A = this chain, B = another copy of it.
Amino acid sequence: MFDTVTSDAFQQLRQRAAEVSRYGAAAGLLGWDQETYMPPKGQAARTRQLSALAELIHRLSTGPEVGEWLTQAEADMEAQGWDPDSDAARFLKVARRDYDRATRVPTEWVVEFSRLTSEAKMHWQQARAQKDFRLFAPYLRRIVEMRRQYAEFFAPYDHIYDPLLDGFEPGMKTATVQALFAGLRREQVALLHAILERPQVDDAFLYRPFPVARQKTFVREVLEHMGFDFQRGRLDESAHPFTTGFSVDDVRLTTRYKETDFFGQAFYSSLHEMGHGLYGQGVDPRYEETPLAGGASLGVHESQSRLWENLVGRSRSYLQWLLPRLRDAFPGVLDDVDLDAFYRGVNKVQPSLIRTEADEVTYNLHIMLRMDLEIALLEGRVDVDDLPEVWNRRMEEDLGVRPKDDAEGVLQDIHWAMGALGYFPTYALGNVMSAQIWQALRRDIPDVEAQMQAGRFADLLAWLREHIHRYGRKFEPLEVLQKATGQELQSQPYLDYLRSKYGEIYGL
């Protein structure tokens, strides 16, 4: 489609974007391999390799020639009167945004930050293994400093957190998120307290032994059945589940297996990553190696992963399809568990220490804690050395549980070691969006529950492809949401969903 654009400058931009995308894929593979197959001692060389590619990519993305091509292509667009919603016009808009952001940041900063976070990840791993935050603290301190510098590259800003957030969620403002979160927090805490006063759910059967070899086969079959294309993707193992991709035809998920925690580890994390992966596999292939490839934002990405994990995967209809299949694959293990008990079990609400294992009612509270601490660190209101204590206190206040060590507290997530301050809020935004999207999808596919009961996911996936996936980065996150749902971002659908679902489960 871009071949016919009669602008030399545009074609130059396109060629550069393709080149950058190819090096980006190489960097992506180096990163994937580092988490999946790389031998332990390969780390030092890998760090250098990743830095070299980060530098190259930043240099090619920010050269003055790119700025000239952009200006010229924008003039060509103006002169030729391109439709502002055409792919070519949106290509230019996204490329302009990427360029303006990237040129604010000096290459030296990018290289140093790449080196720092690569080391920080190693030290975070050691600190976590030894449950000792102090081993990681100097690296986090340096990361916070560098992230402050980073924010200054974008001065003036309304809030120091804005430039960071904007890197993950284009166009989103800290004030908007804070307002949204304040309402969510009030309502979710109230719901949690109401739930905790009711008789609690028994989910002990979820922790029965499920042989790992069979877990692997089962998960793969479920994902394939639900629409993940293994001809264009993979599922591997890593310490922390993630999704990455090197083209629309090569999208990779990871998960982890534990015999006595099949659902908490492999099953639901695989559904979650599959949600990301289906998005990755669903982008218009004509956007390959252009600025329009990829997802609209982390929030929109998370809306997809959470939708498949929770709105689908923890729904009664889905479980009605799943349970007999589980019984077949793991003979005898769940014979005494009926659908109602199973549904209640996988939806058990329980304040807990680990974000990735949190239920839907408490999950966002973990996110808000992280966002508040990130802002406090950036603003200098909390010192890195005090972080474990501040974390633990807030956990007690919000959730009534207190980590017994740093590994199950402040060291549990890799994000800060990756330097990804500003990332966490996108998880909660994704939750909120997922309910809005689900509401719209149910309007268009009234019998979606019946389809899920029958194990039919094709219409559901096709709807998401049509309304979200195929657009890639063409539209900004809130535009995508508007187009798919007809609504602004709002928390009501998510709160309604929580209240209705958990009200029924807990008899509120």
Binding site for B on A (CB under 8 A): 18-19, 22-23, 25-27, 29-30, 33, 37-42, 44-46, 48-49, 51-53, 56, 229-234, 236, 246-250, 288-289
Most buried by B among A233, A246, A288: A246
| Contact of B49 with A234 in the complex, beta carbons under 8 Å | no
Q: How far is the CA of A27 from the CA of B288 in the complex (A)?
A: 20
CB-based contact B53/A23 at 8 Å: yes
- 3 shortest interchain CB distances as A-B pairs: A45-B247, A42-B250, A22-B52
- In angstroms, Cα B38 to Cα A26, docked, is 13
Whether B38 and A250, one on each chain, are in contact in the complex, defined by CB atoms closer than 8 angstroms, is yes
A48 to chain B: which residues have CB within 8 Å? 18, 22, 289
A23, A45, A231, A246 — which one has the most chain B CB atoms within 10 A of its CB?
Answer: A45
| CB neighbours of A30 from chain B (8 A) | 25-26, 29
What's the least CB distance linking A288 to chain B, in Å?
Answer: 7
- Quick check: B22 and A53 within 8 Å, CB to CB? yes
Among B51, B233, B289, point to the contact of A39 (Cβ < 8 A).
Answer: B233
Contacts of A40 in B (CB 8 A): 231
Most buried by B among A18, A46, A250: A250
Q: Given contacts A33-B33, A289-B48, is CB(A249)–CB(B41) below 8 Å?
A: yes
Q: Please name all residues of chain B whose beta carbon is closer than 8 Å to the beta carbon of A53 when the two chains form the complex.
A: 22-23, 26
Contact of A29 with B33 in the complex, beta carbons under 8 Å? yes
Residues of chain B within 8 A (CB-CB) of A250 are 38-39, 41-42, 45-46
Is B19 touching A249 in the complex (CB atoms < 8 A)? no
A22-B52, A53-B26 known; A45 vs B249 contact (CB < 8 Å): yes
Q: From A250, which residue of chain B is reached at the shortest CB distance? A: B42
Most buried by B among A27, A41, A288: A41
Among A25, A39, A289, max chain B CB count under 10 A is at: A39
Q: Can you report 13 residue pairs joining A to B where beta carbons are below 8 Å apart? A: A22-B51, A23-B56, A26-B27, A26-B52, A37-B37, A37-B234, A37-B236, A39-B231, A39-B234, A41-B232, A42-B246, A42-B247, A45-B250
A19, A22, A229, A236: most-surrounded residue (chain B CB, <10 A): A22
